[in-house]
Amino acid sequence: MLRKFEVKNYKNFRDTICIDFTDVHDYKYNEYCVKDGLIDKMIVYGKNASGKSNLGMALLDLAMDIQSSRNSAYFRNNQHLYKNADAADDELVEFVYSFQIDDNTVDYAYKKKDVSEVVFEELSVNGKIIFRYDLISGESDFSNVHKIGAGELNWNEFLEVGAGDEDVESTKPTALRYIIYNTIQSESSVVYKLAQFIKGMIALSSTSVNRIPFDLGRYFEDEKSLEKFERFLNNYGVNCKLVLKEQLDGKKDLYFDYKKPLHFASNLSSGTYALTRFYLQFFAKRKPTFIYMDEYDAYYHFELSEKIVRLLEEEFDCQVVLTSHNTNLLSNSIMRPDCFMILSGGKLTPICKATNRELRQGHNLEKLYINGEFNV
């Protein structure tokens, strides 16, 4: 699980912003929002342009570094929109992650000149440095990499990769990525479990430009999978029947089952579209380890918004961070005061720390928020 995350000089975050999953308070209700002493489910509120979307992209920067090639859409799209516009030319974008892997605390920090050029990196396990390198000062220490099964790798060759090469595709991979893809790790090792967690980190936005596939038939190759999707839509307010129809090329595609069938992907409301993306992301693919959903309920009725939160709380065994403008969700019946955050002025503050009032289960959190009780 993720214990803590910090980022500095990234997009609109000029100063360090921290999201601290260890900041758990002594509330005796909705304890499912906390797991192993860490916040497991969280909702972030913030005004427009406060940085909620940027916080999600910052959190997923590590996953993109580990999973994506340097010519992927993520790296291309962030070439000129990455470092804070007020940062000096010699200032770096700084990331710090702290993970809880079994009984181990794994701390990983890196600094970048831009979206694809890492110039500093450090990995520690239980406070002991495993490796550290700084391309600007020229200081490197890989003396402890044998402790994570990476002692046989050629670290001199690693440091030379991409040196002096301005081609993005040839840019040096991170040392962590180098270890993950060039060593054989047992499934019980810290590196293996860390890699699995990072690869399972997912970001999704209801308002993003990512599209659902136009030919959805390939996701539902049998009646059982189709019935499961149909049942999901019905349970969440979309009353419909679905059918697969064979196309001219012999492949099957998805349709609404009327007397005159309607092509599914061509006839979706915004809400059904968002629900379909949600389903494809989290039920048709591998199980996530960490989810950041930005404005997840932008197209949802308020009742559906709450039902999706309940679904995530009850059926998703992973950390979840949601952002929303829907104050109906700001209720002790859904979460608890240490799991509701306000993003303002480049800082993330739990509402229990944004007031001098001792928040209790009977408080109307939405009313307090609307009336300006939480000063951040």
Give per-residue pLDDT as tens, 265-283. 999 998 999 899 899 888 8
Low-confidence ranges of the chain (pLDDT < 50): 163-170, 209
In a domain, residue 205? The reply is: no
**Do residues 157 and 195 share a domain?**
yes
Tokens coding 188: 């019980």
Edge-to-edge strands, sheet with 252-256: 242-246, 252-256, 262-263
pLDDT of residue 250: 85
User: Which pairs from 65-70 meet CB under 8 Å and 24+ separation?
Assistant: 65/118, 65/173, 65/174, 65/176, 65/177, 66/174, 66/176, 66/177, 66/180, 66/195, 66/198, 66/199, 67/198, 67/199, 69/169, 70/116, 70/168, 70/169, 70/171
Q: Are 63 and 78 in contact (CB under 8 A)?
A: no
Q: Are residues 29 and 165 in the same domain?
A: yes
Same domain, 126 and 174: yes
Q: How far is CA 235 from CA 115, 248, 300, in A?
A: 41, 33, 14
Domain encompassing residue 279: 210-286
Which residue among 286, 306, 330 closes a domain? 286
Report the pLDDT value the prediction gives residue 210, as an integer from 0 to 100. Answer: 54
- Say if 269 falls within a structural domain: yes
How many other CB atoms sit within 10 Å of the CB of residue 273? 15
Are 131 and 145 contacting, i.e. CB atoms less than 8 angstroms apart?
Answer: yes
- 61 shares a domain with 49: yes
Whether residue 185 lies inside any domain: the answer is yes
**Residue 39: inside a domain:** yes
Domain assignment present for residue 159? The answer is yes
Cα(341)–Cα(67) distance, rounded to whole angstroms?
Answer: 29
| Same domain? 184 vs 326 | yes
DSSP 175: H
What local confidence, expressed as pLDDT, does residue 207 receive?
A: 61
Q: Report how far residue 250's alpha carbon sits from residue 36's, in angstroms, rounded to the nearest whole number.
A: 50
Residues 219 and 353 in one domain: no
Residues 301 and 274 in one domain: no
Tell me which amino acid residue 171 is.
T
Q: What is the 3-state secondary structure (H, E, C) of 86-155?
A: CCCCCCCEEEEEEEEECCEEEEEEEEECCCCCEEEEEEEECCEEEEEEECCCCEEECCCHHHHCCCCCCH
Residues 218 and 113 in one domain: no
At residue 178, the pLDDT reads 94
Tokens (6 digits) for 152? 């046989």
In this prediction the pTM is: 0.91
In a domain, 116, yes or no: yes
Domain final residue, candidates 257, 286, 315:
286
The reported pLDDT for the residue numbered 1 is 97
Q: Are residues 294 and 367 in the same domain?
A: yes
Cα 181 to Cα 179: distance, rounded to the nearest angstrom: 6
Cross-strand pairs, 202: 291
- How many domains, in total, are found in the chain? 2
State residue 170's pLDDT score.
46
Helix (H, G, I), strand (E, B) or coil at 73: helix
Whether residues 145 and 243 fall in one domain: no
**Which residue in the block uniquely carries the two structure tokens 């979307």?**
53
What does the pLDDT read at residue 208? 59
Tell me, yes or no, whether 15 lies in a domain.
yes
Read off the CATH number of the domain in which 63 is found.
3.40.50.300
Residues 318, 319, 323: CA angle, nearest 5 degrees: 130
- Give CA–CA dist 310/226, Å, rounded: 23
**Last residue within a domain, chosen from 286, 312, 334:** 286
Rounded to whole angstroms, how far apart are CA atoms 229 and 244? 12
Cα 73–Cα 205–Cα 272 angle in degrees, nearest 5:
120
The position carrying tokens 């770096």 is 92
User: Could you tell me if residue 244 is inside a domain?
Assistant: yes
Instruction: Say what the pLDDT of residue 171 is.
Output: 63
Same structural domain, 254 and 358: no
Same domain for 144 and 70? yes
Provide the residue type at 240 as one letter.
Answer: C
